[in-house]
Every structure is written in C-alpha cells, then in structure tokens.
Structure 1
Amino acid sequence: MTDKSRKPVRKAVFPVAGLGTRFLPATKAVPKEMLPIVDRPLIQYAVDEAREAGIEQMIFVTGRGKSAIEDHFDISFELEATMRERGKDMSALDGTRLAPGHCAYVRQQEPMGLGHAVWCARDIVGDEPFAVLLPDELMWGKTGCLKQMVDAYQEVGGNFISVLEVPRDEVSSYGVIDPGKADGALTEVVGLVEKPKMEDAPSNKIVSGRYILQPEVMRTLENQGKGAGGEIQLTDAMARMIGTQPFHAVTFEGRRFDCGSKTGFVEATLALALEREDMAAQVRQIAARLLRG
C-alpha cells in the first residue's frame, strides 16, 4: 500500500443540490436539508458526523434556492448579539459556525446525478482523498459512521463505502456489494450491483450513503457517460475502480434513517426525540396517547 492511498481524509463533499420534491410544499422555499429533526436541521447531523471524523473542510455542492444552508453555517451577528444581551444560553449554536476557509460552496447547475455532483467539487478536492456524505441518510450511532470508516481507512487505505445488512427480501431496493474477504466489520468489495433481484443478490449488504474515495474517481467521472435514469452515477465510477485500487466496505454499527422519505423522516424525529433526556418521557406519553386513538 502506497503512502498516497493513506493520505489523511481532510475534505468532505455534501451533495445538496436536489429539489426535495417529495417534501413539497415544505421545500418550495426551504431546502430539504434544512428541515429539522427535532431541533437541528438535517444537514447539521451530517456536518457534525464529518467533524467527529476529523474532516477540516466541508464542500457543499448546491443549487438554486439553497442559500439558507450557507447562512446556517455563517455567523449571525444580530441573533448572537441579542442572545448575549438577554443572557441566553449560546450552546444551541455550537457547531453552526464554520470557521473561515473551512467551508466552500460550488453550484451543480444541472440535475445530472450524484456522480456529476461529486465531480463538480473536483477543483476544491484537488489531489486528495475525500469523503462524501449524503445528508438524506441520517446515520446514528455511539460512534459516527464516517469516524468508523476513517478508522478503518487508516489501517488499509484505498476506497471505502459504508454498508448495512438488511433482510434478503429488501435488497432489490438498494445497491448491494459483491463481498470478498471479511474481517469483522471490514469487507473487501469485489463488485457493486444496483437493485438486484433477491435471488441474484451477491449479499444482503447495502450501500448506505457514506464514501471515502481516492481522487482518481474524479478523472473516472469526467469521462463517464450517463447511466441509470439518464444521470452520471457515482456507483458506476466506483465499480470501474474496483480491481485498480483497494476497495472495502465497513458495516456500520448504528442505525440508518432514510430521511429522503416522509416516513423515514418521521421515524428519525421520533427515534432521536426518544433519546433526549429533556423530552423522552413526554414523547412516550404523546405516542402512547396517539396510538390509543
């Protein structure tokens, strides 16, 4: 393994240019990533996860109407001054201020797929390995998903994806890895299959929205044609790199919430509220009352 393939992972790409049409009308004027899970916007959970993993620079691939994300991670002078004057607790704003130079914003001007969104960040990523976090996938665990991946990356280097095990009858809804050698939570990836039939699936380990990629993927994406849905797919680029660079999966020890769906969003809100000491008892009472009808 070369030193290059174990360069520290300092940068993370957040593809946040989507229109969020499944959440209309809520997302007509508010980015989907700014909708709150309890009292923090969805994007905040992904950024906090990246910081825990040692990420130094956050790269947001945005589209029109996403300025609220940029404002959220900026200093709000009027708000902070008013809170100080009134003696309010400022800790609620912890994590919402990204230091100068620690965040960057680039536009994906056309909705051409996840691969294209990642490629839009190529000049900022440069010749370094980088992480990709899909904020729709809220990964919740005692240790963050990306931190688990970075720890494994430091041991073996190369490319990484996070995976979760699901029942076999659910694999046709996801991308699935073709596994090689396994060592605990670490599994060699010898292939990727998108939404296979249950009987054809090489495993029940699904790709779950977190990646560590070597910079060569950008050159692969640059020369890649459109794939499924007429879009430039990141999965296709990763599949082409398997065999040319080490590729592993880390089985995430934690829970995944699909906040790209309304039911997943509600589930995440309820689950995280039930873990909050300041509201868990009341939420349980409310849920019990509602279930009684």
Structure 2
Amino acid sequence: MKKVTKAVIPAAGLGTRFLPETKALPKEMLPIVDIPTIQYIVEEAKASGIKDIVIVIGKGKRAIEDHFDSNVMLEENLEKKGKEKMLKSIQKTNDMNIYFIRQSYPRGLGDAVLTAKSFIGNDPFVVMLGDDLMEDTTPLTKQLMNSYEKTGASTLAVMKVPHKETSKYGVIDPVSEVSDGLYNVRNFVEKPDPKDAPSDLAIIGRYLLTPQIFDVLEHTKPGKGNEIQLTDAINTLNQTQSVFAHEFKGDRYDTGNKLSWLETNITFGLKHPEIEQELREYIKKLGQKLTKEDEQQKN
C-alpha cells in the first residue's frame, strides 16, 4: 500500500465574503494575528509528514506564490541583525516542495481537486481546505493518514456540530462505528435541512482520497451552484469502494466568514506571547465598557 506524501490545497476561490479586502488580497493570505491562514495549513501538512503540496490558485493569487517563495534579501537582512526568531518564522516551510496549478474557471471544489490529477498521479493524497484551522496533539491530517494505513480506503474528517447547524455542512449518514471514532458511511448529504439530517457529524475541511476519485470527478455533473461538488463524487466513489469518516475531537477554528475570522484572531491572540497580556487587558476594559452601555440602555 502506497504511503500518503502529497496534499492538494484549493485556493482559487474569489473570497467574496471578505470584500472589499479580498479584491486585491487573496483570502488565504488574511492573517491570524501575524501568520497567513494558508501558512497554518501548510505547516499542518509538514507536521503530518507530507512532502509535496500543490496549491490550486486562480487569477489574483500571486501573493500566495510570493509568500512561499524564499526572500533572500529579507533573510540576509534578518540574519545580519541577529533576528533569529523572525528568520526561523519565515523559513518554516522552505524545505517543502510546493507547486502551483491554475483553476482557470471557478467550477467548484471538485473541479479544483481534478486539476491536480497529473500532479497526484496514482497516489493517495490529502485535500486540505484553508477555511478550517485544526489543533490537536496529533495533527488532523496525520490522524487521517493513520486511519488510511489501517483501512487502505478514502477517509473524510468529520466533527459533531449542533443539530440546528447541519444545514451549513455536508453531513454523513453512518452505517456503524467500526472502531473508536471511525465510521462506515452509507451516504454523504450536502447541507441537509436539520429535520432531514441523518446525523450531527459534519464534514470538515480535510479529506484523504484514493486516486480513483479522479475518474469519478471526470464524470460528475455539476450540482448545486452549477459547480462540480466533491461530495457528489465521494458519494459515487462510496458505491464501489468503502469511504470512511474519522471523527475529529480536537479544536476547530473557522476562518470562512468575518465573524468567525475575528473570533479566531482573538483566540489565537490570547495565546500569542507578544500580545497576550495586552489583549487580555483590552478585552476586560471593553467588557466593562459594554456592560455600562447595556445598563444605560436598560435605564
């Protein structure tokens, strides 16, 4: 059985939820305190043992390419000034093999994955979405790789969500829990109405897929939004070979909309050694101010 050493990171979306900021700046480059979101994804891949990454980009995404390119002048400047910590922070992924491929038209997540077919070849691979940051003792991508070593089958990451929020996600219809946190799946349902949701286990942004998914994607017709949906292709794949779901029990941070991105920044800011204390004091003062305003409104 082949080892998983490759990852696909789709980053060709228009980022309309963050306009006007994302008119010129790729959404994936929006910072969590001082680190671009996509940097966290690449670092998770590296920590999981991934060697080669292809980032699927579109028009206006040049900043992502520049970010993962080495900046010799900057590195020499930091080295001369003895700023070793800063130097290491910008060299974290210099040893990764990172490639770029263009998705010329926004035809959906399934199409973005399909553009990586020639890069992946006949190997199993991981798809990592940039809207979800995951924290756990063992990286989520590595957890999926560990499951694959046992089953040899495609495995999706899922997480329990409040039942009323199932309409925001793809949700699995589990057959059984074959081992702790690993489910055999009957069906994958895209954004079901809560009253129709088969479970509270929602698909989150990590997928480990066998290369057979490419043959399926090539024959998958556009679905919701006239886009090729990866979930539809996975459903079809599940008819000929088992697809499992691995339950993630760590911490997930959503960066896909303005509010959740701000919440993630605050959470990470409260753990950042440079600003933790000052941010904590600011939040306390802000809380006191808001409490006074609420009391004044009541009176």
Select the residue among 220, 226, 234 that pairs with 1:224.
220
Matched, 1:169 2:164: yes
Select the residue among 198, 208, 220 that pairs with 1:212.
208
Distance in 1 (CA, whole Å) between partners of 2:273 and 2:11 is: 31
Indicate if the aligned counterparts of 1:72 and 1:96 stay in contact, CA closer than 8 A.
no
Shift of 1:103: 1.6
SS of the residue corresponding to residue 9 of structure 1 reads coil
Matched, 1:272 2:268: yes
Distance in 1 (CA, whole Å) between partners of 2:42 and 2:223 is: 29
Matched, 1:200 2:188: no
Shift of 1:43: 0.3
Instruction: Give the percent of matched residue pairs that are identical in Structure 1 and Structure 2.
Output: 43
Instruction: Indicate the larger mover: 124-133 or 147-156.
Output: 147-156
The residue that corresponds to 2:250 in the other structure is: 254
The residue that corresponds to 1:92 in the other structure is: 89
Distance in 1 (CA, whole Å) between partners of 2:22 and 2:209 is: 31
Structure 1: unaligned runs, 5 residues or longer: none
Number of matched pairs? 286
User: 1:1-293 maps to which residues of 2 (within 5 A)?
Assistant: 3=1, 7-89=2-84, 90-99=87-96, 102-182=97-177, 183-293=179-289
SS of the residue corresponding to residue 212 of structure 1 reads strand
SS of the residue corresponding to residue 43 of structure 1 reads helix
Distance in 2 (CA, whole Å) between partners of 1:95 and 1:246 is: 36
Indicate if the aligned counterparts of 2:153 and 2:241 stay in contact, CA closer than 8 A.
yes
Shift of 1:279: 3.0
SS of the residue corresponding to residue 225 of structure 1 reads coil
Indicate if the aligned counterparts of 1:74 and 1:96 stay in contact, CA closer than 8 A.
no
Distance in 2 (CA, whole Å) between partners of 1:84 and 1:52 is: 25
Instruction: Indicate the larger mover: 52-61 or 282-291.
Output: 282-291
Structure 1 length normalisation: TM-score? 0.94
Shift of 1:22: 1.2
Q: Amino acid of the residue matched to residue 67 of structure 2?
A: H
RMSD of aligned alpha carbons: 1.3
SS of the residue corresponding to residue 257 of structure 1 reads strand
Deviations 1:47-86 (A, max 9, x none): 0111111111010100011111111111101101111121
SS of the residue corresponding to residue 161 of structure 1 reads strand
Shift of 1:277: 3.8
Indicate if the aligned counterparts of 2:54 and 2:101 stay in contact, CA closer than 8 A.
yes
Deviations 1:126-180 (A, max 9, x none): 0111100001111222322111111111111210110010111111221100012
Shift of 1:98: 4.2
Shift of 1:94: 3.2
Structure 2 length normalisation: TM-score? 0.92
Indicate if the aligned counterparts of 2:43 and 2:93 stay in contact, CA closer than 8 A.
no
Deviations 1:252-288 (A, max 9, x none): 1212222110011011111112223443222211111
Distance in 2 (CA, whole Å) between partners of 1:24 and 1:98 is: 33
Whichever of the two has the greater Rg, that structure is 2
SS of the residue corresponding to residue 138 of structure 1 reads strand
Q: Amino acid of the residue matched to residue 89 of structure 2?
A: A
Indicate if the aligned counterparts of 1:73 and 1:98 stay in contact, CA closer than 8 A.
no
Distance in 2 (CA, whole Å) between partners of 1:105 and 1:251 is: 30
Indicate if the aligned counterparts of 1:60 and 1:104 stay in contact, CA closer than 8 A.
yes
Distance in 1 (CA, whole Å) between partners of 2:274 and 2:76 is: 26
Distance in 2 (CA, whole Å) between partners of 1:83 and 1:215 is: 43
Structure 2: unaligned runs, 5 residues or longer: 290-299
Instruction: Indicate the larger mover: 119-128 or 132-141.
Output: 132-141
Q: Amino acid of the residue matched to residue 140 of structure 1?
A: E
